[in-house]
Amino acid sequence: MTKEEEIMEFLNAKVFDPVLSSLSASQELKTGIRYTIMRLNEREAKGMVSYFWSAISGTDRSIGFSAKLKKEGFNRFEEAIEEFRVRFDDRWLRKK
């Protein structure tokens, strides 16, 4: 498994899949999740990690999207932050 696949497997399980498989999630959320997946898949592992932290730190778009996820009762990147930080650290990124 590549590093990119490992990151996506983690994010799919923790954030993306629950929204995409939900019958109650709004189309706006599902579209946003698909867009986020597309943007992540354009990057190598280091860029994916950077994208995650940018979303956490709060761009205008990510703040609003995070609020919509929370309002509809879904996990956000913020709920996965501790595990992500430990699992996908600089040492992991440097590892071959």
Per residue in 56-77, pLDDT (tens digit) is 888 788 889 999 999 999 999 9
pLDDT at 5 over 90: yes
**Residue 58: predicted pLDDT:** 81
Q: Quick check: 37 and 16 in contact, CB under 8 A?
A: yes
Write down the pTM of the prediction.
0.92
67-95 average pLDDT score: 94
**What is the extent of the structural domain holding 71?**
3-94
% of the chain with per-residue pLDDT over 70:
100
Cβ-defined contacts of 81-88 (< 8 Å, 24+): 81/56, 83/10, 83/14, 84/10, 84/52, 87/10, 88/7, 88/10, 88/45, 88/49, 88/52
Number of domains in the chain: 1
